[in-house]
Amino acid sequence: MKFSPRELCTARQDLIDNIVEYFLSKKGIEALYIQGSVAAGSTDEFSDIDFRVVIQPDFYEQIISERFFAPRQWGKWLYNEWAGNSWVCVSHYKPYNKVDMLYFQSKALQPSPWYLLPTQVIYDPKDLLREVIQASEGLEFALDIGEVDRLISKGLAYAEEVYRRVMREEFFYAQSQLDSFRGIMMQLDDHFRNSPSSSGSGSASHFEQRGSQTLIKTLQLSYTQLDKQSLLNALGELLKIYQQQVVELHKTLSLPRDREVDLYWINTIFELCTTAR
């Protein structure tokens, strides 16, 4: 089976049109907008729809209660993904389309650097979006001190666990922990470049387009066969970049953690990787 680009793009636009028509028929809708590649004009046939709905507080619970049933009316619905957040529903459609739907109360519209990313405003009669976009000018993506502290700790823990599982020859588990370590490094790289992680939590989505070339190349080489030496070599190469990240974070931020302890443990794991046989 093969889908043509024209078929998928046409189906995506039909979905957008149907979603807009659906919400404009509902009471309590304050604003509708799209972000992501559709708003940026950089779609390909596999791009999904990042649709956002802003709702008056009095109507919010009612519309949220319909979030799993409403998508069935928008197109050739297949299924909804389970989402842990009550304000999210991700739906999938024939032939091969997806909608990421986020619901907000109007009071949740606060200045944020996310509103400086490409945003296609569809409906905004009270200029709520226009005002929040204007108020967001000059803001930057930045991790707070507590989040940086957490990311360093998690990075150390993932690296340590990779080594432990490799030495036990639990290679599947080691690879999963190695991937979590990669995610930490991507999120730190986003921090250095004032770039948003696609999911806000170190997502690999579109990282090839936004990441630093040094990290991208190292990440590419870190995907290896599931054997002891290959995994240890991959971890060792990643630790070199991670060490540079940690040094820079300690240099530029007043972190509530011991720099020497961090570097000691990175060096320890690196030496274990290079001496293991």
Return the CATH number of the domain spanning residue range 5-135. Answer: 3.30.460.10
Q: Is the pLDDT of residue 226 over 50?
A: yes
Task: Give mean pLDDT, residues 5-34.
Answer: 96
What is the C-alpha radius of gyration for the chain, rounded to an integer number of angstroms? Answer: 22
The pLDDT tens digits for 245-268 are: 999 999 999 999 999 999 999 999
Whether the pLDDT of residue 189 is over 90: the answer is yes
Percentage above 90 pLDDT, the chain: 80
Here the tokens at position 103 are: 């619901």
Indicate the domain borders of the chain: 5-135, 145-275
- Give 246-275 as a DSSP string: HHHHHHHS--SS-HHHHHHHHHHHHHHHHH
Q: What is the pLDDT of residue 39?
A: 92
Q: How does residue 277 score in pLDDT terms, banded at 50, 70 and 90?
A: low
At 143 the pLDDT is: 78
Q: Residue 124: what pLDDT?
A: 97
Percent of the chain with pLDDT over 70: 97
The answer to whether the beta carbons of residues 28 and 45 sit under 8 Å apart is no
Q: What confidence tier does 199 reach under pLDDT thresholds 50, 70, 90? A: very low
pTM of the model: 0.83
The CATH fold assigned to 145-275 is Four Helix Bundle (Hemerythrin (Met), subunit A) (1.20.120)
> Is residue 197 very low, low, confident or very high in pLDDT (cuts 50, 70, 90)?
low
Backbone φ and ψ of 63, nearest 5°:
-70, -40
